[in-house]
Amino acid sequence: MLGDERANWRPERFGYELWGCEVGLRFPMVKLLDYRARWAELEASRNPFATVVMAHLRAQETQANPEARKAAKWQLLRRLYEQGTARVDILNLFRFIDWVMGLPEALEEALWHEIVEYEEAKRMPYVTSGERIGMRKGMEQGIQQGIEQGRRQGLFDGITLGLELRWGADGLRLLPEIGPIEDVHMLRAIHEGLKRVSTPEELRQIYRQTN
């Protein structure tokens, strides 16, 4: 399944050759971009995945236009109400749409007021303020965790390279000890320590002192 914006990129095979040997894999391919021409079909569908595809396409189309994104986001959400989608499904799809179609804070608040007014008019309080706050915090925590994981991986890769360049196999023997460390600050200290210590044992003392 391809979610990119390159209309002509349609890989259906992966493989490589080495020393006369060849390994290959053919696979079916679905290009989400193709569904732009099938928008009416998506709108009429009650399959939750149709909403996922619509949100993905609208997110791509409105990257540089926050106002258009707000309008498209509300259109997608209102469609769920009008289809009579179950509350639990609306909440789940709301989380996804909110994630892929992020808005500036002012527009997000304006959209939220439209949702509240619509729910009050229709007497269907599906998304409460508490649930919205919870969804927002969950998304922010997920983003932060992703950033921290990226930092950790970058530091670990740098440490691995530094160990190999400085001490070769002797340095790489520390990896089973350093690998489980989750603390980004500690990994940064190890990374910086590589510049000043003389032996693997001296580097080991940096992270053993706190244990």
pLDDT, one tens digit per residue, over 134-151 is 555 555 555 456 556 767
Q: How confident is the model at residue 81 (pLDDT cuts 50, 70, 90)?
A: confident
For residue 71, the model assigns a pLDDT of: 92
The answer to whether the beta carbons of residues 24 and 13 sit under 8 Å apart is yes
> Considering only CA atoms, which of 38, 35, 31, 33 is closest in space to residue 2?
31
Average pLDDT value for residue range 201-210? 81
Say how many C-beta atoms besides its own lie within 10 A of residue 201's C-beta.
11
132 has a pLDDT exceeding 70: no
Average pLDDT value for residue range 27-44? 86
Would you tell me the crossing angle of helices 48-61 and 87-100 to the nearest 10 degrees? 20
Q: How confident is the model at residue 94 (pLDDT cuts 50, 70, 90)?
A: confident
The answer to whether the beta carbons of residues 164 and 172 sit under 8 Å apart is yes
Question: Which residue type is seen at 163?
Answer: L
Average pLDDT value for residue range 177-182? 86
- Provide the whole-model pTM: 0.55
- C-alpha distances in angstroms, 198 versus 112, 121, 136, 145, 162? 58, 71, 47, 34, 12
Percentage of residues in the chain having pLDDT higher than 90: 5
Residue 81 burial (C-beta neighbours within 10 Å; 0-12, 13-18, 19+) = middle
Cβ neighbours of residue 189 under 8 Å, at least 6 residues apart?
206, 207
For residue 200, the model assigns a pLDDT of: 87
Least confident piece of the model among 5-14, 43-52, 140-149: 140-149
130 has a pLDDT exceeding 50: no
Decide: helix, strand or coil at residue 168: coil
Q: How confident is the model at residue 133 (pLDDT cuts 50, 70, 90)?
A: very low
The answer to whether the beta carbons of residues 199 and 166 sit under 8 Å apart is no
The answer to whether the beta carbons of residues 162 and 130 sit under 8 Å apart is no
Average pLDDT value for residue range 53-76? 90
131 has a pLDDT exceeding 70: no
